[in-house]
Amino acid sequence: MSLTTRRRRAPFVGLALLAAVTLAGCAGIPGSGSVQPGLTDINQAEQLVQFSAFGPTAGASQEELVRGFLTAANSPGDDYSVAREYLTPEYASQWDPYFGVLIWEGSRPYRQDGDAAGMLSLSVVAEVDPIGKLLPTEAGESTELRFEFTRRGSEWRISSAPAGVILDRSTFEAIWSQHQLIFLGPGDRPVADTRWFLSRAALSTEIVGALIEGPSKRFEQVVRTGFPQGVTLTKAAVPVESGLARVDLKGEGLSNPQAQQEMLTQLQGSLHAVPGVSRVELLVDGTPVRDATGPASPAAPVPAGAKLAGSVDGRFGVVTAAGVEPITGVTAAVEALHGDAVALSRSKTVAAVRGDQGMSIVEDGFTAVIDTREGLLPPSVDDDLWAWSVSAADPGAVKVAAPAGTQHELDAPWLDGLDVRAVRVSPGGSLLGALVSQGAKSYVLVGGIARDPDGTPTALTPEADIEMWATGEAIDFDWIDGQRFVALTRQSNAGKVTVGGTGMFAIEQGSVPDAVEIFGGGNRTQLRVLTASGELYAPQGASGWQRVIADMELLAKRG
């Protein structure tokens, strides 16, 4: 993996140096770190799903200690006290279970490495960093973790192990849960940042703490928070009584009505999925804020523009059961350009068209060429009506243009030198996703988009994360909604459909023969796949596909 494609791995770098972990791929957990204090209120730390944990048995072998230690780490009760019984007293005070999670599937072969060390091999599928961000790892690669042992009397104990916890996927999904932290984008649009948290009674407290801490490093250029700097919880926890989560804050700037409303919006959108929370109340130093109590509910979603558009029998427009409905100010211009790739804004007022002259932007019948580079990829049009154009020959230079004639270039260094097959802007316009081909494998890179208050894109984040791996050569990519996306990759003569998202596990959704293009739609039922012969397929059942149109000439992306 090249430096330009490698995702940020700072929390996990220490593993290779400090725990002597051998990586066959790019995954790992660090081998050291300071001990994080557990919650002082043990009742707050109780998991909603409990796993039994047992300490080491007398005369346990080194391998039995390793396997027992990993099983005991399924139970974080009392600051992982049972798991610490497998460690020497000195190392028990150093081991940091809060440094991240390594998630694996399959078998766990173990081999001895000398008299006082052993190596555990894992097929790692994802890792979670200290702030709860989940990133997938490259499929098929093995990670080896080193454990060292010291005798205490007649018993072996672990004297060195990776920091963080190591969980199989089923256990991870049973005791951790995915939540959307809501921040504010341009125009105060809600923007979700996917995080994972232990499913325990302290979940509300941890989510509010993450909101106070602010967006992750990748998001800090993209979104803002309504929580003033230096604000803290008045008490150590967010109590939930009869469905009401009472968030009591202290600090400067809390008397600002706008900040109060923004904080409430973020709290309502971020706490709605917490079990037992139905309402949120905001307090300042113990005093309820007037008009700052409301239902815990998801932030209003960005409309995904699910209606299909394209060309059938030479006519371009919105495709319905009755035929093709022309789009005022767009249809005639698109048809005149004879393009082979079209993106239509969700408002249906602006289109970007790739044709013989290059990339053109269309609005109210007016057409202007915005990019004449070779190897142009299919375009994208964001919700602020900016057209996005990328050349496969120089993907790091992203051109954006507005219908009024404004044009400029954004730098995407994380795309330089890659085999990029598709680039798309997410609904809401906060993320830029790119499908990259790497031989027999493909992956989706996602970076953030910084904008002025009026929605003008001003910069891309200097780094991006690999948010999904898929087998097969990359074909096409589209967003489903503001967090989920779908990729189309080639396996033999079929196009395999894989659904993923930021901070999510990928799900394979079957395949369609001779597939060449994918349409995200807005939800799974509205996914569409176009074949080289013009057949359009829709989902059927869990992973099947059925033909719905036999002679579609062009499939237009929405957004």
At residue 306, the pLDDT reads 62
* Sign of the torsion formed by the C-alpha atoms of 39, 42, 47 and 50: positive
CA 305/CA 559 separation, integer angstroms: 8
Whether the pLDDT of residue 8 is over 70: the answer is: no
Angstrom distances, CA of residue 241 to CA of 238, 266, 278, 532: 10, 20, 10, 58
Tell me the percentage of the chain whose pLDDT exceeds 70.
90
In DSSP terms, 143 is beta-bridged to 23, 122
Element (H, E) at 81: helix 77-84
- Answer whether 106's CB lies under 8 Å from 123's CB: yes
User: Which one has a higher pLDDT value, 34 or 234?
Assistant: 234
Distance of CA 32 to the CA centre of its chain: 26
pLDDT of residue 425: 97
Nearest to 511 by CA among 528, 526, 497, 498: 497
Average pLDDT, the chain: 88
> What pLDDT is stored for residue 218 in this prediction?
77
Q: Which helix (H) or strand (E) holds 171?
A: helix 169-175
262: phi > 0 → left, psi -120 to 50 → alpha, else beta; which? alpha
Query: According to the model, what pLDDT value does residue 1 have?
Result: 31
Q: CATH 2.130.10.10 occupies which residues in the chain?
A: 376-558
Burial class (CB in 10 A: 0-12, 13-18, 19+), 58: exposed
Which residues have C-beta within 8 Å of that of residue 332, sequence separation ≥ 6? 326, 365
Do the beta carbons of residue 131 and residue 84 sit within 8 Å? no
Query: Which superfamily is assigned to 376-558 in CATH?
Result: YVTN repeat-like/Quinoprotein amine dehydrogenase (2.130.10.10)
**In terms of Cα–Cα distance, which of 467, 462, 438 is closest to 448?**
462
Q: What is the pLDDT confidence band of residue 49, given thresholds at 50, 70 and 90?
A: low
- Interval 351-356 mean pLDDT: 96
Closest CA to 177 of 266, 47, 83: 47
Per DSSP, the three-state class of 11 is helix
Question: Which residues, at least 6 apart from 321, have a Cβ–Cβ distance to it below 8 Å?
Answer: none
Condensed to tens digits (0 to 9), the pLDDT of residues 76-117 reads 888 999 999 999 999 999 999 999 999 999 989 999 999 999
User: In this structure, are residues 222 and 184 in contact, taking their beta carbons and an 8 Å threshold?
Assistant: no
Q: How confident is the model at residue 542 (pLDDT cuts 50, 70, 90)?
A: confident
Averaged pLDDT for residues 530-537: 97
Three-point CA angle 152, 154, 155, nearest 5°: 60
Over residues 474-518, the pLDDT tens digits come to 999 999 999 999 999 999 999 999 999 999 999 999 999 999 999
106 vs 120: CA distance, rounded Å: 13
pLDDT band at residue 30 under the 50/70/90 scheme: very low
Question: What pLDDT is recorded for position 32?
Answer: 33
Place of tokens 């059925």: 546
Residue 362's pLDDT is: 97
Mean pLDDT of 258-281: 95
Q: For 196-236, how does the pLDDT look when each residue is reduced to its tens digit (9 = 90+)?
A: 999 988 999 999 999 999 998 878 899 999 999 999 999 99
Which pLDDT score, from 0 to 100, does residue 302 have? 57
pLDDT in tens, 368-422: 999 999 999 999 999 999 999 999 999 999 999 999 999 999 999 999 999 999 9
Residue 530 CA to residue 551 CA, distance in Å, equals 10
Phi, psi of 212 (to 5 degrees): -65, -40
Residue at 469: amino acid letter: W
Give the DSSP letter string of 429-446.
Answer: S-EEEEEEEETTEEEEEE
- What does the angle CA 88 – CA 92 – CA 98 come to, to the nearest 5 degrees? 150
Name the pLDDT band for 301 (thresholds 50, 70, 90).
low
pLDDT digits (tens, 9 = 90+) for 117-166: 999 999 999 999 999 999 999 877 789 999 999 998 899 999 999 999 99
pLDDT over 60 at 22, yes or no: no
User: In 10 A of CB 235, how many CB atoms?
Assistant: 12
Please state, in angstroms and rounded to a whole number, the distance separating the CA atoms of residues 37 and 170.
Answer: 27
Q: How far apart are CA 135 and CA 466, in angstroms?
A: 7
Which pLDDT score is estimated for 386?
A: 98
* Cβ atoms 176, 112 nearer than 8 A: no
On whether the CB atoms of residues 433 and 458 are closer than 8 A, the answer is no
Q: DSSP labels for 22-34?
A: -BSSS----S--P
Write down the H helix ranges in 195-330: 203-213, 257-271
Tell me the C-alpha distance between 540 and 529, whole Å: 12
- State which H helix or E strand residue 173 sits in: helix 169-175
pLDDT at residue 33 tops 50:
no
**E strands present in 165-254:** 165-168, 176-184, 190-198, 232-233, 240-241, 244-250
pLDDT tens by residue, 233-265: 999 999 999 999 999 999 999 999 999 999 999
The pLDDT value given to residue 298:
81
216 vs 3 pLDDT, higher one: 216
- Of residues 16 and 344, more confidence is placed in 344
